[in-house]
Amino acid sequence: AQSVTQLGSHVSVSEGALVLLRCNYSSSVPPYLFWYVQYPNQGLQLLLKYTSAATLVKGINGFEAEFKKSETSFHLTKPSAHMSDAAEYFCAVSGDTGRRALTFGSGTRLQVQP
């Protein structure tokens, strides 16, 4: 079985502040982990992925995430928020080294205040 828990359905930060979106996973087999972003009325776009190589993963738009097996976490961070980062963010897990379909978390809506 595999599952994802995203802590905080809404996060609000000021422009230029640190962004931290939390994700904890559960998987009975080695996981592949992903972060996707969804803008209004659009599909999901891949931000970054962890596939058992480096534990610190860099993605697009200045985002990065760190895989911590001991904490079963894969939190998403960005040093300085930009207004254009306002969107819905989804963490997802795929067990069995990615051979299973993705299971998504319930999402975190990021607001960026000017």
Asked if residues 42 and 66 have their Cβ atoms less than 8 Å apart, the reply is no
Asked if residues 71 and 79 have their Cβ atoms less than 8 Å apart, the reply is no
Contact with other proteins (CB under 8 A) among 26, 77, 104, 111: 104
The conformation of residue 79, written as its DSSP 8-state character, comes to S
DSSP state letters, 48-69: EEE-SS-SEEE-GGG-EEEEEG
Q: For the window 31-70, what string marks contact with other proteins as x by the rule CB under 8 A?
A: -x-x-x----xxxxxx--x---------------------
Residues between 77 and 96 that touch other proteins (CB under 8 A): 90, 92, 94
Q: Does 97 bind other proteins (CB under 8 A)?
A: yes
In one-letter notation, the amino acid at residue 36 is Y
> In angstroms, what is the minimal distance from the CB of 106 to other proteins?
5
Q: Does 22 bind other proteins (CB under 8 A)?
A: no
Residue 20 CA to residue 62 CA, distance in Å, equals: 13
Residues forming the site for other proteins (CB under 8 A): 4, 9, 32, 34, 36, 41-46, 49, 90, 92, 94, 97-107
